[in-house]
Structure 1
């Protein structure tokens, strides 16, 4: 049992806290918190000490985590290991977030409640407890369900790509010398961005370091249909893909005669599927 839990916690999980997805999650969090708090009234309330109607109190409590999400992730987003995100890291992040939300809920009690003991340890404990109870309930429902949904979807699609690949051979490019890279086009296995440099991994096992950006490399390889960007840091020679596997974060590529696993990020999956199926 302990090993199963450990294996589950170490599984890959998509990092949602950036760009458009962050705003979608924030909106869902607000709606779920508002509806749950208003209609279910999960905690005992003493109306005589309320400074406003219960709906407005629920609205304030629902807005607090929204503001905390935007502040929390705008300050810390760059420090997260997005590419190696796991269920364990997701749960730890949620726990830290709930702690901060609970503290803020305690600090705004004077706005909502007319109670001389607002700043007591009792109410500090109650706000933390209530925040964690609701947050953990949502997390235990949403995290496993979302992980299972994404993992099942990507595994299924990856298997379909493998079946399609086994019945049709991806055409090799006609060998041509790429002057900018000083290498034949068919000899590149994959490329990986390293800061202001790009590493070219060749089919013979060697590698070449070039001083150029990933965007520049994309432009150079644009006329070669066998190359596709699978991730912000990777470009792959599609004719060298041996197999495709899936997890909650996206796909993982195993290339011929190469032990390195190449990721296909979630935002590149649709483009990758289309290009793989078109060959």
Structure 2
């Protein structure tokens, strides 16, 4: 039986950044025809596909409401629209904290509110954003942070304030990938703040490498995934993919930096050859 999968992307990167090429081949081996489609292109028919997978819709932060409306209109969307709505606003980090998940301390500053700046180096970033665009690190320069906050608020954006985790400078982040709710692989990401912007303008450039997470790191990632599924009233198996980005806190313990359930890069170019095959099987599982 031939089935059709559509990988949803954006106009600036209509076929992604190349990381998903192996996944396309793996799906073809399972009898899928795979095509790419720009999510806001009215000429693209998403309704006829057996499954629509969010892969490179990286321009949504500027048009989140429109993007969410589109997600609601697409049958067989992975991950589902309700998950996308929850996950595309990083205020979910506060919910993870409240659920007891070890998470980087996060404070929300709504437009019109004043921030209480940490007494340690910290990061200010929009609660709706992708690829670290709009994120900035500050030390003792509260004036610079206040100006950045004013800029975000002037754009109608809620800001997140988080203490900067210095381990990122030496260890970077580790990203753990789950497919169909099951651990698949991991890769490290070097520090991005201060790095150059990708030519697409959609995200900061990343340096990735394959990794094997320590047991404590995996435990925190699993806790985050379980807490999110509880908050969303779904099973882990209902998530085609999830990526948990973890850093070491100042005490050396792992902390969740982000939980990516919408359109994360899954690091197939830095994974073992079986990872794209596991992804393809997870897609079939969603259809079942």
Q: Bin the TM-score by the shorter chain.
A: under 0.3
Q: Which has the higher contact order (CA 8 A, sep 6+)?
A: 2
Bigger strand share: 2
TM-score (norm 1): 0.25
Bigger helix share: 1
